[in-house]
Amino acid sequence: MDPSKNWFLIVQNRFPSPYENMAIDEYLMMKAEENENTTYLRFYGWTPPAISIGRSQKANRVVNHELLKKSKIGFVRRPTGGKAVLHYEELTYSISSSDKRFISSPSVRAVYNQLAKALLKGLLNLKIEAEIVSKDPKGLVRTNLPCFSYPTRDEIEVRGKKIIGSAQKRSKSAILQHGSIPIKDHRDLYAELTSVDKEMLLSSMTTIEIETGENNWRKIAEAFIEGFKEEFNINYEKYEFSEKDKKEINNLIHKYSDNSWNFEL
């Protein structure tokens, strides 16, 4: 079986809720586990805008929930690790895969690096010169600071500023990696919601619009679709969710909308 022929592309022009987004990503990982050498590459947005936190984070330590409600910003815990991310006028990518080129990699970091090369090509298609971070910052990784406070090893930066933040989950037979690509500048709100000094985020992160002036979601998504195609030498088949898929996803939405999942840890 040629893995390059088993890549399915999902571009969601209707932006799902935070709960649905996480349900879909988990479901696609489950499908990848069931189907050898199969990859689902998905691009999506969020309605309403939301904060997502990592699987092991304590919700009340990393987000100002009173301000979250006042600002009408959603909230959800991801199935992956990582730190708090504001999903607001950005492009989110996710890749759920049992492709042997990822499963045979010895570590999470090795897969991060493989996928970072595709993301770099996407940025280059937007005329953004970026690079892969070579090492973790000292003393910051174990803090409650938000994801875009610092670029970590194998993530992507532009002149020292983080432009894509990713998180991963791995099983014996599949990986799920998803990540945020900020388009418009909401660093002030991001800082308020996560109770950090806004000057930190102003100096540590950037966005597609800041770098290029481009803010068309579809055009930006196409740049990354092409970047993955170039890096992995694959062709896509568009994937449409069946009624069975939708039923399974709806079942998972209950998990991600439950307070016991989002707040109790």
Q: Name which of 175, 25, 8, 165 is nearest 105 in CA terms.
A: 175
Q: What is the pLDDT of residue 209?
A: 98
Is residue 174 a contact partner of residue 131, using CB atoms and an 8 Å limit? no
Q: What is the pLDDT of residue 144?
A: 80
Q: Is the model's pLDDT at 140 over the cut of 70?
A: no
Residue range 44-62: average pLDDT?
96
Q: How far apart are CA 124 and CA 53, in angstroms?
A: 28
The set of long-range contacts for 123-128, using a CB threshold of 8 Å and a minimum separation of 24, is 123/156, 123/158, 123/163, 123/164, 123/223, 123/227, 124/227, 125/223, 125/224, 125/226, 125/227, 126/208, 126/211, 126/212, 126/214, 126/220, 126/223, 127/212, 128/158, 128/163, 128/208, 128/211, 128/212
Residue range 237-261: average pLDDT?
97
Residue range 185-198: average pLDDT?
96
Mean confidence (pLDDT) of the chain: 93
pLDDT greater at residue 264 or residue 17? 17
State both tokens at 126.
């937007």
* 252: amino acid identity, one letter: L
To the nearest whole percent, how much of the chain has pLDDT over 70? 95
- Kindly indicate the confidence band of residue 109, based on its pLDDT and cuts at 50, 70 and 90: confident
- Kindly indicate the confidence band of residue 1, based on its pLDDT and cuts at 50, 70 and 90: low
122's CB contacts (< 8 A; 6+ apart) are 223, 224, 225, 226, 227, 228
Strands (E), the chain: 7-11, 39-44, 50-53, 74-77, 85-87, 90-97, 131-132, 156-158, 161-170, 175-182, 236-238
Q: What is the pLDDT of residue 106?
A: 74
Q: Is the model's pLDDT at 183 over the cut of 60?
A: yes
Q: What is the pLDDT of residue 150?
A: 82
Q: What is the pLDDT of residue 133?
A: 87
| Set 86, 147, 164, 196: catalytic member | 147
Q: What is the pLDDT of residue 10?
A: 98
- Kindly indicate the confidence band of residue 247, based on its pLDDT and cuts at 50, 70 and 90: very high
State both tokens at 34.
């069931």
57's CB contacts (< 8 A; 6+ apart) are 77, 83, 84, 144, 265
Q: What is the pLDDT of residue 100?
A: 92
To the nearest whole percent, how much of the chain has pLDDT over 90? 86
CATH of domain 3-262: 3.30.930.10
pLDDT (tens digit per residue) in 87-105: 999 999 999 999 999 998 7
Instruction: Give me the residue spans of the domains in the chain.
Output: 3-262
Lowest mean pLDDT segment, chosen from 5-9, 83-87, 186-190: 5-9
Q: How far apart are CA 253 and CA 259, in angstroms?
A: 12
Residue range 11-32: average pLDDT?
97
Q: Is the model's pLDDT at 119 over the cut of 70?
A: yes
Residue 147 falls in the annotated catalytic set: yes
Q: How far apart are CA 82 and CA 52, in angstroms?
A: 10
Rounded to two decimals, the pTM is 0.95
Q: What is the pLDDT of residue 137?
A: 63
Is residue 168 a contact partner of residue 80, using CB atoms and an 8 Å limit? yes
